[in-house]
Chain A
Amino acid sequence: MIVSNAVRYPTYVPATVAEALEQKAGVANLLPIAGGTEVMVMFNEGLLAPCPVQSLHRLAPEWGGIREAEGSLVIGALATYTDVRHHPVVRERYPLLVEAARVTGALQIQNRGTLVGNIVNGSPAADTVPALFAYGAQVRLLSTRGERTVAVTDFYTGYRKTVLRADELISEIVIPPPADGARHYYRKVGTRAAQAISKVVVAGVRGRDSVRLAWGSVGPTTLRTPKTEAAIASGADADEAVATLATEMSPLDDIRSTRDYRLAVSQNLLREFLKRTSPGG
């Protein structure tokens, strides 16, 4: 049962990136569709306000792949979770991405859904975004006016708000190589074992003298916790780190979980992170 009126969604299918950017600049409210796993659900349920849509599927030759460039990993806008899970370089050097892709949806979603599609709507529950935060990923934005690159940590400006402009498309995500010997930690706490939206999700990378932690579903956007990171980097013990975390995280009650649970679990996750990534461990 589809409860939307399809005629209210005129569809554009650009054949080249240049054409896509022209359309994006020229057609008001044009909504891109990559895998469609978010857009089509909204459409089916009658929750997508009528608008023109732009299917990006013919751009796969340009935007489809995952490659390495100058030591960094480049994930094209049409690369799927399945692509991420199976790519040898990702598997070897970016385990958080593999894990995040593995726990997103289930196989059908992973075969269609894109990593880029996951970051755009600014949901604080997006499961790959903490991993991208932890790895210090950059987002490349294109428009007919040119190209710009934004750190993923600067991409979000508030609850479901991003710096993406009306005429821009994302072409790729660029991820620098993690430090040698860094330890990686990722854990999603969902409403069930699969096909779940996160109650808390965390990604962390711990190098010799640096720590990056990113949290999902505990604030209006994916969060970094710099004070906690600094405390850990300067040798704080677990109790101190956990106490610091509570000062820079204020989750909310919602339909999925409670503030108290989210905070308590985040603290437990931090302890687990410290134990699993401990330099001596």
Chain B
Amino acid sequence: MTISADSETKLRYVGRSVTRREGADKLTGRSRYVDDMHVPGALTGRTIRTSIPAGRVRNVRFPDGFPWDEFIVAGPDDLPANEVALITADQPAFVDGIVRHAQEAVLLIAHEDAGLVHEAARAIEIEYERDAGVFGMEQGHVLKQLAIRHGDFEGAFANGDVIFEGEYRTGAQEHVYIETNGFIAWWEGDGVVLHGSHQCPYYVHKAVKHAFALDRDDQVRVTQETTGGGFGGKEEFPSLLAIHSALLSRKAGGRPVRLIYDRAEDMACSTKRHPSLTRIRTACTPEGVFKGVEIDFHIDGGAYVTLSPVVLSRGLLHSGGPYLWPAARMDGYCWFTNSPPYGAFRGFGAPQSEFAIERHLDRLAAKLGICPIELRKRNFLRKGDMLPTSQIVGEEPELERIVERALELSDYRAKQSGYGEGNGRGLGLSVFYHGTGFTGSGEVYLDSVVALEAQADGFVEIQVSSTEIGQGTETVFAQIAAEGLGIDIESIRFRKPETGAVPDSGPTVASRTCSIVGGLVERAARQLREQLAGRDIATASATGPVRAEARYQAPPGLVWNDDTYQGCAYGAYSWGCNVAEVSIDPVTAELRVESMWGIYDIGRVINPVLAIGQVEGGMAQGIGWATCEDVVLKEGAMQNTRVTNYIIPTSADAAELFVEFVEHHNPCGAFGAKGVGEIPLDGPPAAVANAVTFATGKDIAAIPIRPEDLLA
């Protein structure tokens, strides 16, 4: 785990492994999560959910034996707008007559006796009229469709080149953040106060304000408590809990209400990674030079729109992999089904489509009789090449160098020839890329703002809505701010995100925090440094805080057309290569990923230890998705809703991980940073699948790769 960096020695904090700011508190149990909050007089809330995937609610029965008149009971009629505002507001906060998925909220109950609430919740009976429902893709209705057209597609497939097709599938994945979803809400006057576990305070703010039809922004105050992981699972979903807890509290006359999910409820009702089906058809010369590609990329969106159109978009945009395709026809389809809505999950569609293309290339190489690494090398993107959206690659990705380093570290060639094909042991490789930040004009719409404030007690406070969710936001922002200001990092303070008190720096998603929001922190820091003009912080702010704000500006030339799906999809790309080494037990067909190597270009590495942590964690999560994380669905709903039977790798299963960075700085990111959070999920599944194919001779086309499939 070494860093190959060309970082300037004159930097004092950037590029150094500054210790994680909240690390000691988390390690010693001092951190307070929302469920740790002691709120006197709080009621305990609980959600009553549908048990059928499609139909109508006919009747709700409250059986005898419970003091129902003591309970707060709330439902859709109590809410001014029964809608969760996101891209569209099609998802209701409660079943609006029609049941569209199992685990959908029907009503809420609350009582001060938590035990009684749980008992009562189990006793409530719902009578339904049942409809059939739609499960799986390519049936029912299309939720969103996208198309990318590039080059002379007909020509590419017309002139007798090698045409090769394949079909690839990936399963759903549950986030398994260690802290389940939770909110505590109460009303003060005509406004509501919300404390919870989430990634995006202003998303929650927008949804609550909309549902309660409130006029003023200051009527909703959302605070982020210490959050035990998110991985995308706390991007859009928490809005629902926020509305629910706020509603119960309002019905209780403003009394605080705790709405904390237990693991089974959380897994059953919350979002998952979208299952996918990708069909790829490629045309290339016999020597393996790519001519054209046709990709149909399908994802299961579940019952409501939520974020699926954007997941589809990112998945489709990454579906060709980091290769030069002179011609392309890429179609994306997201399907409505009667599953709980699928949602944001680290990688946001790209891990699905990049699995497909990277598995396809190994299969194509076998068909052509070319080494899969050689095939990739013949087609890698280079500076000046055009992507299917007409974006010109603006930097030299040096993918050969990245791949060669991975091969060297893993001793790939010698090991592979030593093992030989089909002997239960093997290596596999994948190459991938990931666009930093929101897609297309997304960052422009977000219009993010950060503020730095020099305060009278001698501290500079960072004010952002970007959240610390275990990835290191507080630490890297402090590094960036201290560097830009030229002051000691001990004089930097991070303001706990609270809407109204911090500006909206956008959601903590899309690998945008360090690079894009961090870039704004850098600008604000340089600006504040000028404003301070050499005075020390306390002196300068003696008569009032000195404040600097920075607002997002699109890099010059970054133009995107949403209608034609042409233009610059992302301002920067991270690049990477994984090598997986696997073994398959001859008796049980158990698959073990022995080791994985990862070489990444994430631009400037602001904090090496944190970056390695991000990447290793993501690799482990990607290996889990590829090997054992199997969401067992029945009529669209997850059945294995326990950590006992939804199998994530334990430390005893974990592969040995080796990570190195190659730095190509991004002129628009904080001190040259690009996105790091999501790219680690893009590569492991295909690297593992390619290795398993080598080791077993089985043509793997789907993940998770279960021993049951290998033995069949």
Interface on A for B, CB 8 Å cutoff?
Answer: 1-8, 44-46, 106, 187, 189, 191-197, 200, 255-258, 260-261, 264-265, 268-269, 271-272
Do B118 and A5 touch (CB < 8 A)?
Answer: yes
Known: A1-B262, A5-B116, A45-B264. 11 other contacts (CB 8 A): A1-B180, A1-B260, A4-B118, A45-B263, A192-B649, A192-B650, A192-B653, A195-B644, A260-B708, A260-B711, A268-B588
Chain B's closest residue to A264 (CB) is B711
Q: B391 in the interface, Cβ–Cβ < 8 Å?
A: no
Can you list 24 A-B contacts (CB < 8 A)? Answer: A1-B263, A3-B118, A3-B262, A4-B118, A5-B116, A8-B115, A45-B642, A187-B587, A192-B628, A192-B647, A192-B649, A193-B652, A195-B644, A195-B650, A200-B588, A255-B639, A256-B645, A261-B589, A265-B588, A268-B586, A268-B588, A269-B587, A269-B588, A271-B587
Chain A's closest residue to B712 (CB) is A260
Query: Interface 1/0s, chain B 263-276, versus A by CB < 8 A?
Result: 11000000000000
Interface on B for A, CB 8 Å cutoff?
Answer: 35, 113, 115-116, 118-119, 122, 180, 260-264, 586-590, 592, 628, 632, 639-640, 642, 644-645, 647, 649-653, 707-708, 711-712
The distance from the CB of B224 to the nearest CB of chain A, in whole angstroms, is 20
Q: Which residues of B contact A8 (CB under 8 A)?
A: 115, 119
Whole-angstrom distance between the alpha carbons of A106 and B589 in the complex? 23
Do A193 and B650 touch (CB < 8 A)?
Answer: yes
The distance from the CB of B63 to the nearest CB of chain A, in whole angstroms, is 15
Do A194 and B650 touch (CB < 8 A)?
Answer: yes
Q: Which residues of A contact B647 (CB under 8 A)?
A: 191-192, 196
Whole-angstrom distance between the alpha carbons of A195 and B592 in the complex? 16
Do B707 and A268 touch (CB < 8 A)?
Answer: no
Whole-angstrom distance between the alpha carbons of A44 and B711 in the complex? 37
Number of A-B contacts (CB under 8 A): 83
Do B640 and A255 touch (CB < 8 A)?
Answer: yes
Whole-angstrom distance between the alpha carbons of A187 and B587 in the complex? 11
Chain A's closest residue to B651 (CB) is A194
Q: Which residues of B contact A272 (CB under 8 A)?
A: 587
Q: 6 smallest A-B Cβ distances: which pairs?
A: A5-B115, A1-B262, A193-B652, A194-B652, A3-B118, A5-B119
The distance from the CB of A194 to the nearest CB of chain B, in whole angstroms, is 4
Whole-angstrom distance between the alpha carbons of A45 and B641 in the complex? 11
Q: Which residues of B contact A264 (CB under 8 A)?
A: 711
The distance from the CB of A220 to the nearest CB of chain B, in whole angstroms, is 19
Do B115 and A265 touch (CB < 8 A)?
Answer: no
Q: Which residues of A contact B628 (CB under 8 A)?
A: 191-192
Q: Which residues of B contact A260 (CB under 8 A)?
A: 708, 711-712
The distance from the CB of A110 to the nearest CB of chain B, in whole angstroms, is 14
Point out which of B586, B588, B632 has the most chain A C-beta atoms below 10 A from its C-beta: B588
Whole-angstrom distance between the alpha carbons of A189 and B263 in the complex? 26
The distance from the CB of A70 to the nearest CB of chain B, in whole angstroms, is 38
Do A193 and B653 touch (CB < 8 A)?
Answer: yes
Q: Which residues of A contact B119 (CB under 8 A)?
A: 4-5, 8
Do B264 and A255 touch (CB < 8 A)?
Answer: no
Do A7 and B708 touch (CB < 8 A)?
Answer: no
Whole-angstrom distance between the alpha carbons of A175 and B712 in the complex? 39
